[in-house]
Amino acid sequence: MADSTPPDDTPSAPAPDVTLPVDDPTYREGVIELLGVIAYGELSAFERLAEDATLAPTLRDKAELAQMANVELGHFLGLRDRLQALGVDPYAAMEPFEDTFIRFHAKTAPADWLEGLVKAFVGDGLAADFYREIAAYLDVDTRALVLESLAGTGDSQFVVARVRGAIEADPKVAGRLALWGRRLMGEALSQAQLVAAEHDGLTAVLVGGSGRGAGMDLAAIGRMFARMTENHAARMAELGLDS
């Protein structure tokens, strides 16, 4: 069904409104893994943004980053409560993804304030793309929750002004930050592939292996990654950077 339906080509179009049973054990396992990885990602984003706030050159920038961090924590709390409502220990659901995020952040530690801003913007955008893409394959309740995790990501628009300002002040910065953006995207994709390989239930939700027939086939996943790469390029351009 996936390769004949619009969602994987027009992810932002309303998804087919089938309510999928969270008590279908395979699907349930996949949803728990999905909520676990997103919850970890949001808590991790809070931590990184708060850390970047300490590098902020002005109090105003510090407050901006702190507010972005708070938005991510709000998303985390919603996901944590949903996992609890599903009768799952949210921290147990998140734990399996700890190594992934530790690896990712170890390989993408910002050298300065600007690299931190670009990482926040790029990471925020990639997460939002992924949420929109996967939402189409989720039951109504889970989809609503995942889409809520997009709220407020627009805050990172202030990043655009800061990065463009820095490039105007010193054009050499653009080359270094463009390279940084490519590295972030490369690491994100390779970590995503590791996660998919290590977590069958999660992958099943995406590829429809949970037997619901509502998932993507592998060609559709390929197209999804192509779309995410295009969106990444558009975001880099928004920052005034090549991708």
Distances (CA, A) of 119 to 86, 145, 150, 185, 221: 32, 24, 17, 10, 24
SS3 category, 154: helix
Please count the CA atoms within 13 angstroms of the CA of 109 that sit on its side-chain side. Answer: 5
Q: Which is nearer to a second copy, 90 or 181 (CB)?
A: 90
Among 26, 29, 73, 200, which residue interacts with a second copy (rule: CB under 8 A)? Answer: 73
CA distance 155 to 165: 17
Q: Which is nearer to a second copy, 54 or 190 (CB)?
A: 54
CA distance 35 to 41: 10
Q: How far is the CB of 50 from a second copy (least distance, A)?
A: 3
- Could you tell me which stretch among 11-19, 64-72, 164-172, 235-243 binds a second copy (CB under 8 A)? 64-72
Contact 73, 46 (CB under 8 A): yes
Among 11, 20, 28, 80, which residue interacts with a second copy (rule: CB under 8 A)? Answer: 80
Among 1, 13, 18, 63, which residue interacts with a second copy (rule: CB under 8 A)? Answer: 63
Total number of residues shown for the chain: 243
Using CB under 8 A, count the residues that bind a second copy. Answer: 26
Q: For residue 110, how far is the Cα from the chain centroid?
A: 18
Q: How far is the CB of 47 from a second copy (least distance, A)?
A: 6
161 forms part of the interface with a second copy (CB under 8 A): no
Enumerate binding residues for a second copy (CB under 8 A). 40, 43, 46-47, 50-51, 53-54, 58-60, 62-63, 66-67, 69-70, 73-74, 76-77, 80, 91, 94-95, 98
